[in-house]
């Protein structure tokens, strides 16, 4: 198997031991280096050290990336990887990467990172990259390992590549794992104002009054501006704005008059020619953004 | 009863969310609340492995703050039940790094740890990889020394491996270090956090842009009109509006493009 040099190949390696992880990763990367591709290893420090040692002199041509603190929220992790891949692709026409996803201990968040793996296929679909995500079959829970086959079209397991029969479109996975939004009765209405500038002023005032730190107010203003700009440009205008605290976070709901969209990947696609970066920016700056239709209209709910 | 145990679930949630948002006071309070628990995990590591208690605690603090950035209070998991995994993981990775079998001078090992801590702190505070110059400023090491340290790569060794240090049988760190020293380590960690105060996004703009944004939106001061801001800067209101629009645009564009240095930032956007 080879990378076609034009688009993403997003595969998984399910390994049974540290030795297997090292041996298969090194073989994968060396094959790419021999073909003139860039090579990236993303893992925590011990994993990086093991691969660096095994690669020997070849390590000099490999970019090692410590991901110890990178996996906070999927949108931020995607943005971080995008930066690394874009940097590498300035030096080589294509790249190979071995990446270790950091699933945490809480079963409640496994779906979140499975969703991240699913949307990775769309987010970087345009990049000439072959990414091998690594999963320890002896160290990860079954639901996570089952998710591997839903989010990677091809999986290297045992001694062979397997085409996954369970692979699903990213949006299908995202829809399944996204809970139905519930009303937030504690929010209060906020007049939108004459234009985006007045909207930002009012929103800043509400957020400051609510005790939001200054740095986060600016994040909110940037994110809400992107969402409100979409509502004005494509949603027939802003119908209603609601703000307040919910679940300990500052929340801003922007309801527009349009039909909305039905794309759970919205805001997760890395910037590329022909696509806007507004929601990509907004997702990076916030905890979560939900898009849903309600009796009031198409709603964007921003959780700071 | 520890401070963490005295927090109600709502207080704990609000504290974690404020820390996730980068509020330095909340970070400090969160660390103070969970420091006894972090220290408890640090004491479980075997002694005589060349890793000091303070280093384990500091790494544990970094793990705690990472957990805060990732913790979803909506799932209902008690914070420590969630965060302890990341605290222990961070400590384990430090031990693996510092107990590699290739012999290094003690000075080099400490230099590596110092460099790694400075890098972690920079990532946590700025969300970007530090440059060599920034690392140099933070550690007091020269760029050449840092380059040499970066080149040092050896194989990790499992923490369960029997170890001896200085000819003495391994003992637990907790056996060797009494509580007052732990408190001292804790204070040093907090001082470090305090010194490296969290810089907000606006702080990365040019001075005039920062003044306009902060003044217009009332960040840390009463909000002013663009006319008032322009007056204080010797500009027209329209010019102040243009500066503000340019600053917002600059922030947005920086977020949409990849980082110039191609490093993986811990916190999304690589640089403003």
**Span A107-148, pLDDT tens digits:** 999 999 999 999 999 999 999 999 999 999 998 999 999 999
Q: What pLDDT is stored for residue B197 in this prediction? A: 32
Average pLDDT of the segment spanning A147-169: 96
Per-residue confidence in pLDDT tens, chain B, 272 aa: 566 678 888 999 999 999 988 888 888 899 999 999 999 999 988 877 778 888 899 899 999 999 999 999 988 899 999 999 999 999 998 888 777 654 445 666 677 778 878 887 777 677 667 888 888 888 888 877 786 676 553 333 333 333 333 333 333 333 332 233 344 444 454 444 443 332 345 555 777 888 888 888 887 777 888 888 888 887 888 888 888 888 888 777 777 766 443 334 333 322 22
pLDDT at residue A193 greater than cutoff 50: yes
Q: Which residues of A touch B237 (CB under 8 A)?
A: none
Residue with tokens 């001075």: B207
Q: Whole-model pTM?
A: 0.77
Q: What is the pLDDT of residues A283-303, one digit of tens each?
A: 999 999 999 999 999 999 999
Phi, psi for residue B168 in degrees, rounded to 5: -105, 145
Phi, psi for residue B157 in degrees, rounded to 5: -120, 140
* ipTM at complex level: 0.86
A156 versus B202: which is more confidently predicted?
Answer: A156
CB contact under 8 A, B268 and A49: no
Grouping H, G, I as helix, E, B as strand and the rest as coil, residue A108 is helix
Residues within 8 A of A (CB atoms), B 68-127 only:
69-70, 72-77, 82, 85-86, 89-90, 93, 96-97, 100, 120, 123-124
Q: What pLDDT is stored for residue A191 in this prediction? A: 97
Query: Which residue in A200, A304, A177, A180 sits closest to A246, CA to CA?
Result: A304
CB contact under 8 A, B252 and A215: no
Q: State the average pLDDT for chain A.
A: 93
Q: What pLDDT is stored for residue B97 in this prediction? A: 74
Find out whether A13 and A86 touch, Cβ atoms under 8 Å. no
% of chain A exceeding 90 in pLDDT? 86
What DSSP designation does A138 have?
A: T
CB contact under 8 A, B269 and A71: no
Residues within 8 A of A (CB atoms), B 45-64 only:
62
Q: Which residues of B touch A225 (CB under 8 A)?
A: 248
Nearest Cβ partner for A217 among B75, B219, B264:
B219
Find out whether B65 and B30 touch, Cβ atoms under 8 Å. yes
Compute the C-alpha angle B142/B143/B144, nearest 5°: 90
Structure tokens at A179: 């809970």
Secondary structure string (H, E, C) spanning chain B: CCHHHHCCHHHHHHHHHHHHCCCHHHHHHHHHHHHHHHHHHHHCCECCCCCCHHHHHHHHHHHHHHHHHHCCHHHCCCHHHHHHHHHHHHHHHHHHHHCCCCCCCHHHHHHHHHHHHHHHHHHHHHCCCCCHHHHHHHHCCCHHHHHHHHHCCCCCCCCCCCCEECCEECCEHHHHCCHHHHHHHHHHHHHHHHHCCCCCHHHHCCHHHHHHHHHHHCCCCCCCCHHHHHHHHCCCHHHHHHHHHHHHHHHHHHHHCCCCCCCCCCCCCCCC
Q: What pLDDT is stored for residue B269 in this prediction? A: 28
Q: Put residue B50 in one of left, alpha, beta given phi > 0 → left and psi -120 to 50 → alpha.
A: left
CB contact under 8 A, B201 and A281: no
Distance CA A254, CA A200 (A): 12
Range B78-84, long-range pairs (CB < 8 A, 24+ positions): B78/B9, B78/B12, B79/B12, B79/B13, B79/B16, B80/B4, B80/B34, B80/B37, B82/A104, B82/A105, B82/A106, B83/B34, B84/B37, B84/B41
Residues within 8 A of A (CB atoms), B 233-262 only:
248, 251-252, 255-262
Which residues are CB-contacts of A228 (< 8 A; sequence separation ≥ 6)? A192, A196, A199, A238, A254
Q: Which residues of A touch B23 (CB under 8 A)?
A: 213
Find out whether A122 and A170 touch, Cβ atoms under 8 Å. yes
Nearest Cβ partner for B82 among A50, A106, A285:
A106
Q: Which residues of B touch A219 (CB under 8 A)?
A: 201
- Confidence band, pLDDT 50/70/90 cuts, at residue A3: low
Q: Which residues of A touch B86 (CB under 8 A)?
A: 104
């Amino acid at each position: 198997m080879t990378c076609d040099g034009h688009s993403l190949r997003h595969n998984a390696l399910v390994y049974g031991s540290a030795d297997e992880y090292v041996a298969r990763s090194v073989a994968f990367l060396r094959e790419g280096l021999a073909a003139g591709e860039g090579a990236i290893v993303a893992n925590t420090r011990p994993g990086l050290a093991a691969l660096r040692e095994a690669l020997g002199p070849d390590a000099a041509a490999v970019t090692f990336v410590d991901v110890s603190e990178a996996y906070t929220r999927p949108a931020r992790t995607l943005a971080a990887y995008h930066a690394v891949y874009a940097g590498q692709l300035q030096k080589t026409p294509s790249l190979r990467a071995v990446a270790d996803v950091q699933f945490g201990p809480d079963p409640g968040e496994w779906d979140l990172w499975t969703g991240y793996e699913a949307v990775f296929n769309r987010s970087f679909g345009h990049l000439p990259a072959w990414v091998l995500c690594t999963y320890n079959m002896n160290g990860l829970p079954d639901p996570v390992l089952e998710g591997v086959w839903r989010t990677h079209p091809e999986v290297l397991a045992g001694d062979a590549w397997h085409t996954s029969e369970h692979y699903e479109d990213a949006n299908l996975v995202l829809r399944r794992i996204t809970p139905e939004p519930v009303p937030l009765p504690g929010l209060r209405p906020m007049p939108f104002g004459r234009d985006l500038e007045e909207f930002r002023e009012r929103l800043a005032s509400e957020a400051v009054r609510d005790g939001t730190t200054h740095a986060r107010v600016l994040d909110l203003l940037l994110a809400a501006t992107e969402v409100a700009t979409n509502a004005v440009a494509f949603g027939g205008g802003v119908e209603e704005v609601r703000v307040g605290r919910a679940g300990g976070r500052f929340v801003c709901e922007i309801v527009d008059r349009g039909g909305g969209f039905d794309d759970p990947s919205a805001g997760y696609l890395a910037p590329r020619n022909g696509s806007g970066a507004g929601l990509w920016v907004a997702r990076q700056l916030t905890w979560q953004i939900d898009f849903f239709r309600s009796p009031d209209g198409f709603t964007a709910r921003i959780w700071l | 009863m520890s401070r963490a145990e005295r927090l109600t679930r709502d207080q704990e949630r609000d504290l974690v969310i404020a820390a996730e948002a980068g509020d330095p006071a909340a970070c400090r309070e969160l660390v103070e609340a969970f420091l006894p628990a972090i220290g408890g995990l640090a004491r479980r590591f075997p002694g005589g492995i060349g890793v000091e208690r303070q280093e384990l605690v500091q790494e544990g603090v970094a793990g705690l703050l990472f957990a805060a950035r990732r913790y979803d209070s909506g799932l209902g998991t008690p914070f420590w039940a969630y965060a302890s995994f990341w605290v222990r993981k961070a400590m384990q990775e430090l031990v693996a790094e510092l107990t590699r079998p290739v012999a290094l001078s003690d000075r080099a090992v400490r230099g590596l740890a110092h460099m790694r801590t400075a890098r972690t702190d920079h990532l946590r505070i700025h969300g970007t990889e530090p440059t060599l110059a920034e690392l140099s400023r933070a550690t007091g090491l020269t760029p050449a020394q840092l380059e040499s340290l970066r080149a040092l790569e050896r194989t990790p060794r499992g923490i369960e491996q029997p170890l001896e240090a200085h000819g003495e049988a391994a003992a637990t760190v907790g056996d060797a270090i009494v509580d007052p020293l732990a408190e001292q380590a804790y204070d040093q960690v907090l001082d470090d956090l305090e010194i490296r105060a969290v810089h907000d996004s606006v702080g990365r703009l040019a001075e005039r842009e920062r003044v306009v944004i902060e003044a217009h939106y009332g960040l840390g001061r009463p909000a002013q009109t663009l006319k008032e801001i322009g007056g204080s800067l010797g500009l027209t209101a329209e010019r102040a509006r243009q500066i503000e629009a340019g600053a917002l645009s600059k922030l947005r564009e920086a977020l949409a493009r990849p980082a110039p240095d191609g490093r993986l930032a811990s916190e999304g956007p690589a640089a403003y």
